[in-house]
A and B are shown apart, each in its own frame.
Chain A
Amino acid sequence: MKISRSFLLLPVLALAASGLSQAAGKINVVTATQDLAALAAEVGGDHISVEAIAKGYQDPHFVEPKPSFLLKLQRADLLAVVGLQLEIGWLPPLVTQSGNSKIQVGAGGYLDISQFCQILEIPTGQVTRAMGDVHPLGNPHYWLDPENGRRIAKAFQNKFSEMRPSDAAYFAQRYADFDQRLAAAEKRWEAAMAPYRGRKVVTYHRSLPNFCERFGLVVVDYIEPRPGIPPTPAHTLEVINTMKRDNIKLILVEPYFDLRTPNSIAQATGGTVAVMLPSVGGVKEVTNYFELFDYDINLLTSAFAKVK
């Protein structure tokens, strides 16, 4: 009789244990980019597991929607996307094919981070493809302003707390700690960039408007004649003339673009090219959001010091 009761109890205990372990398990987060993954990790700590699809050193507009990503998405509790059509060329079929109801567009596990951030370069008036590969909803490279980084972290805190109310205090404490460290880092970054406020630069693509606005750099021209359109000889000549006229000495290039055109422009103008990281993971040693800004600001201050 005792044995039979034990047998009856065992499955119940097993079920309860599995339920408890599930409840206490980590939130499985997949993000479109490594920047979002880094910020999710800041807030989620060891209560989440997080993986990014696009690497920090690849062009986030052109990611191959590989089936191996589908396995990650199939297991995800939360999918965080940059939005503003940055991932339009690769993410939608992955989401549909994942077979995961939690992360479909509109479901509770689909989080478009752009809705929480300050977005720049929202086109006004008519938008056509004659303007290049323009983003009609605004520039999606918004995470390069620490204030938006703070907003993103807050969005993750709220989302994680909604998904796991029992851990809300933990996420709140992690966010408060991140906020404090970010505030301290911002003072350091602002101080380092203060001597260069108002300096004019040329960038390859429109990846840096939030960064430049925040730290007071003025982007005068782009190596691309239009967003997504490769450099043409005529436009390259225009950039050279602009740089000479305005005495611009610094060209900022993302790590996934070819350096031949920027280098030839720099040679013609006596300027220099700096490969600036738009994302966490752009180089091996940049593994979190703070290191991204440390790297870029060190790079810029060294470059400005070099070109005077």
Chain B
Amino acid sequence: MLKGIRIPVFALVLATFGSLAAAAQSSAELLARFKAMEDRIKALEAEVQELKGQQAATTAALTAAAPATPTPAPAVALAETATSQTPQALGGAGPAAAKVLNPDIAVIGDFLGAAGNGTSRPTPALEMHESEVAFQAILDPYARADFFLTFGEHGVDLEEGFLTFPALPGHLELRVGKMRAAFGKVNTLHNHVLPWADRPLMTQNLVGGEDGIDDAGLALSRIFAGPKDTFFEGTAQLFHGEVENLFHAYRRSDVSTVDHLRAYRDITESTNLDLGVSYSRGHSVWSPAVIDQLYGVDATVRWKPLRRSIYHSFVGRSEFTWSRLDFPGRTFTPFGYYVSGDYQFARRWFLGGRFDRSERLGNWFTVDGDIFGTPDLSDLSLHQDTGGSLVLTYWPSEFSQIRGQLRRTLYGGSQTANELLFQFQFSIGAHGAHPF
């Protein structure tokens, strides 16, 4: 029995030793091969060095000979050298190459005219309403920078200037600088991408006028997938607290905040729905003791058939904003909204309409960026403005547009303004794409 076991065990041991011996032999062979390869590499390196030396000597000789006797022989030799070797780029690039590091620069002009009876709130007949200058570039491997300066007839303003860290851990994005707040939809849009020549009454009365909530601060956002691949984006922003017509930082600690949650879903390949809720809070311009809180809901539906996307599209938008101002002993909740639709009926043509309604506190207001009146604590009453617009837009090219807007507004239920706004917008340079 034992004998029977011993034989296979012995055979196994022999086989093991055998394989070990074979392994030792193959290791020795491998070492020898490595050594041979190492010697070969050294020999090749020496050859390369020798060839380089010869080439340098030839070049030096030709350079020395050329000015004295420009005979055909060296030229032939040079031509042969050039054809026999792979073309080699020598030296650096020209001075123009350094300019590739300059930021993308664009200038967008916005010329606005108005006709009709503007009642007591005149929009100038003709004005270079705003010229936006944009500088945009990738800063370094970790961040990009965007600056948007606006030149109006009343001076220069930094509309936005921020640094974006697009890829922080946890898929977070951080933005630092002055920026348009993520309150609703219209507040985030620059003038030149609005589908109208003006901003809705809701923005003028409740959300800081033409500039909207546009302040210095920090913004942290993150995108994430919800059920059935619904897109969500959460944004939290902390600002200095200084927004014209809305917030005022009486002390350093009087910061304002904006929070926004966005949900987006493709309904079909051509149609999608974009919903958002917003909240903002800051110290009111009315008084240090008054906190102004804004609540917003926005909805956008878009239709754009992919096969004919350059010819037809529709965008329906609506935003609702509630403001809550807590005065000592009294609370006011002015409310405003707009509903609009824009249909592209040809490659260059768009037709749109907008209905506006918004309350405001007190008898002061802004129209197309100009402020009329001042906050007066003795006049704490709500006034309602209602308006409607019909808009026709023509694009001569991607870089210019001509727009006419018929606007009828009933201010405070008493003054009616019937106006025709006309606008020319034009863009030069490399303006980066806007977020969707």
Contact = CB atoms under 8 A, between A and B. Distances in A.
Q: Do these two chains really belong together in a complex?
A: yes
A96 interface: yes
A290 to B, nearest CB: 23
A162 interface: no
A43 to B, nearest CB: 27
A104 B231 contact: no
Contacts of B229: 68, 71
A106 B307 contact: no
A66 B433 contact: no
Contacts of B397: 129, 132-133, 228-229
A3 interface: no
A67 interface: yes
A105 B138 contact: yes
Nearest to B262: A67
Contacts of A255: 307
B225 A65 contact: no
Contacts of B306: 55, 57-58, 256
B219 to A, nearest CB: 12
Contacts of A59: 309-310
Interface string A215-249: 00000000000001110000000000000000000
Interface stretch (B49-57, B162-170, B192-200, B369-377): B162-170
Contacts of A101: 166-167
Interface string B409-436: 0000000000000000000101011111
B144 A66 contact: no
Contacts of B225: 71, 74
B233 interface: yes
Contacts of B398: 133, 228
Interface stretch (A11-19, A31-39, A86-94, A266-274): A86-94
B383 interface: no
A100 interface: yes
Interface in A78-99: 88-93, 95-99
Contact of B231 (A71, A93, A99): A71
B121 interface: no
B347 interface: yes
A68 B435 CA distance: 13
A143 B172 CA distance: 35
A99 to B, nearest CB: 4
A132 B398 CA distance: 9
Contacts of B364: none
Where chain A touches its partner, the secondary structure class is loop
A70 interface: yes
Given A71-B223, A71-B231, A99-B171, A66 B310 contact: no
A62 interface: yes
B231 A68 contact: yes
B309 A88 contact: no
A121 interface: no
A256 B307 contact: yes
B166 A104 contact: yes
Contacts of B328: none
A132 to B, nearest CB: 8
Contact of A100 (B167, B262, B428): B167
A258 interface: yes
Contacts of B262: 67
A64 interface: yes
A92 B432 contact: yes
Contacts of A106: 138, 141
Interface in B238-291: 262, 264-266, 269, 272, 274
Interface string A107-128: 1000000000000000000000
A225 B308 CA distance: 20
| 5 closest residue pairs by CB, A with B | A101-B167, A99-B171, A58-B306, A67-B264, A67-B231
13 contacts: A55-B306, A58-B306, A65-B435, A66-B266, A67-B223, A67-B436, A70-B231, A91-B433, A98-B223, A99-B173, A105-B138, A230-B347, A256-B309
Given A62-B310, A68-B264, 11 more contacts: A65-B435, A66-B272, A67-B233, A67-B274, A70-B223, A71-B225, A88-B433, A97-B173, A97-B223, A99-B222, A256-B310
Interface of B: 138, 141, 144, 164, 166-168, 171-173, 222-223, 225, 229, 231, 233, 262, 264-266, 269, 272, 274, 302, 304, 306-311, 347-348, 397-399, 428, 430, 432-436
Interface of A: 55, 57-59, 62, 64-68, 70-71, 74, 88-93, 95-101, 104-107, 129, 132-133, 228-230, 255-258
